[in-house]
Amino acid sequence: GESVGLHLPTLSVQEGDNSIINCAYSNSASDYFIWYKQESGKGPQFIIDIRSNMDKRQGQRVTVLLNKTVKHLSLQIAATQPGDSAVYFCAEREIQGAQKLVFGQGTRLTINP
Amino acid sequence: KAGVTQTPRYLIKTRGQQVTLSCSPISGHRSVSWYQQTPGQGLQFLFEYFSETQRNKGNFPGRFSGRQFSNSRSEMNVSTLELGDSALYLCASKLAGAYNEQFFGPGTRLTVL
């Protein structure tokens, strides 16, 4: 599934390096945030989530940081691998309990060998 | 466990026609939502269904409609197709509960000529 915009932000990193993808969200009332990864020909795949009452959450090789003061979300990927190459989207939930998500524009991450 | 399935995967229509897309959620998931993905607008929420009831609707014209059946399968319909309706249409399902993961299907690629 093509997910790129004409002017999609891009990030290139060397294999093995760490990468940080940033996202600014829009609604200070949003209570839940998710990072998704989308590879070509596929739908978005859940990576990690964080609730608004937290500022950091860690998963396997991934960490999400939430700064509610400036409405900023980041995704850190440690020791990047070729399989990490994809488009990454942040999403916020503006209505508690609803399934409606508001997605960011996406960032294309390319891992160079 | 089978993932979210969407049919058809690819579809070509002409302006003025109508189209129906189908989504089968993961077994046990009663919440289904639909998104439109385009290069220009990114991922945009269309609607959300739970137990056959529409719970939320995005900012799309009335030509876009949907429904959910008692087995949780969902369809969306677009009438009087326009060129701008060309997009990847994604369906997602989740278990009931505020913080359960939303799983996306591979999408239906609709091209309007």
Residue B107, chain A, CB below 8 Å: the answer is yes
The confidence band for A95, taking pLDDT boundaries of 50, 70 and 90, is confident
Angstrom distance (rounded) from CA A10 to CA A2: 15
Looking at residue A5, its pLDDT comes to 37
Residue B10, chain A, CB below 8 Å: the answer is no
- The CA distances from residue A39 to A88, A100, A106, in Å, are 9, 22, 12
Convert the pLDDT of each residue in B20-68 to its tens digit.
999 999 999 999 999 999 998 999 999 999 999 999 999 999 999 999 9
- ∠A100-A97-B7 over CA atoms, to 5°? 40
Q: What average pLDDT does this structure show over A38-67?
A: 96
Identify the three-state secondary structure at position B102.
coil
The position carrying tokens 């997910």 is A3
Which residues of chain A are at the B interface, by a Cβ-Cβ cutoff of 8 Å? Answer: 1-6, 32, 34, 36, 41-46, 49, 51, 89, 91, 95-106
Looking at residue A98, its pLDDT comes to 72
